[in-house]
Amino acid sequence: MKKELEPRLTSLAHGGGCGCKIAPDLLQKILGELPVAPKHRELLVDASTSDDAAVYQISDDTAIVATTDFFMPIVDDPYDFGRIAATNALSDVLAMGARPIFSLALVGMPIGQLSVETISQILAGGRTASEAAGAPIAGGHSIDSVEPIYGLVALGVAHPDKVLRNSSAQVGDVLVLGKPLGVGIFSAALKKELLGEDGYAEMVASTTLLNTPGPELVDIPGVHAMTDVTGFGLLGHLSEMCRAADLSAQIHFDHVPVFETARGLLTSGVKTGASGRNWKSVEPMLSSTHGLNENQRDLLTDPQTSGGLLVSCTEEDAEGVLTTFGKHGHSNASVIGRMANGPAGIIVV
């Protein structure tokens, strides 16, 4: 097959990136039908708090951190798709404060529609990102599928006492977000062929920027909790943090970093269907939105692929957290809000 006759990668998928995720309210119903897994003393973190990865203690000073993540193409360039998917999967290990050690590739490709060269480029992009994170791809599994799918099983290690959960936020903590919002809007614009070169460059730069501040943040005493913002949007993942800690959060919309290019696209009517689903899922958690307009709601629930870390820390240590982000190239990290006494919920000012 000649590569020039191949369809665009994004045209082969009904959704792209973390926008493919099942809506959180539907996922909760599905998982609610399953029996509760028995507790194991060594299993320090399981699915009960909707955390980023599972954590299993194997010795007094070592725990294995394990996760998996995969999705359909968010971009048409195969090498970029591979890099983005791998960076996104590794983020869940980094969001627990763990050091990645190796990974396994998950590959589903429509054989006959994509050339060997294209598929190889997807895998090469994934390998590049994995090796940059110190988690070389040691194997994997592949199938012939209707839609192109790529991702990783990612494994890391951490000290059991230094794992950063999403459930450990404390009253008075400030919230720091590591990357701007708007990746879902970029991906919607790309599908409609409305994304310019500058917007594409912003999108790829953000989604391939590893969340490497994570393992370093565990050594800041005032850092209490952490998660990453992906397919459920900022409000969706913050709501998980609030439920897990039984606390409320207040977000200042004007303090939330947003890609200005994405803001402009949204103003012109470009957005994903997932933002509406995410809003519907998180709306019961919102005690007040202080008159947010539709565009603002769409930004706060825009599905982020390989999004930023969301850190809950003491106000005194916020500057150290921001400095750590800056050292790792996360120049847009910002304090966006604060945790307060429950009940679990979110106020957007």
What predicted TM-score, i.e. pTM, was given to this entire model?
0.92
CB-based contact 97:158 (threshold 8 Å): yes
Output the pLDDT for position 99: 98
Rg (CA), the chain: 19
Output the pLDDT for position 250: 95
| Residue 16: CB atoms within 10 Å | 26
Is 18 assigned a catalytic role?
yes
- Single out the catalytic residue among 18, 20, 242, 313: 18
Q: Report, as an integer, the average pLDDT of 60-74.
A: 95
Place of tokens 């402009």: 264
pLDDT digit string, tens, across residues 318-346? 999 999 999 999 999 999 999 999 889 99
Tokens of 51: 């955390």
| Residue 347: CB atoms within 10 Å | 17
Is the pLDDT assigned to residue 221 strictly greater than 90?
yes
All structural domains of the chain: 3-162 (3.30.1330.10), 174-348 (3.90.650.10)
Q: Report, as an integer, the average pLDDT of 265-292.
A: 88
Output the pLDDT for position 36: 63
Nearest C-alpha neighbor of 214 from the set 305, 331, 320, 324: 324
- Higher-pLDDT residue of 24 and 66 is 66
Q: Report, as an integer, the average pLDDT of 256-279.
A: 94
